[in-house]
Amino acid sequence: MYLCRPNFKPDLDMGVFSAYSLPVQGLKNGIHKYNYLLDASFFKEFEASPLNECEIEVEVELDRRSDMMVFQVELTGWTAALCDRCNAGIRMPLEGSHDLFVKYSEEKEEDDDEVIFISREAPSFNLAKYLYEFSVLSLPIANVYDCKNDENPPCDTEVLQYLEGKKDNDDDSPSSSVWDALKDLK
Read out DSSP for 9-21? Answer: PS-TTSGGGGGGE
Residue 21 has pLDDT above 60, yes or no: yes
Q: What is the dihedral of CA 157, 162, 165, 171, to 10 degrees?
A: -140
Taking only the tens place, the pLDDT of each residue in 63-122 is 999 999 999 999 999 999 988 878 888 888 999 999 999 998 887 777 777 789 998 889
pTM comes to 0.75
pLDDT tens digits along 125-145: 999 999 999 999 999 998 887
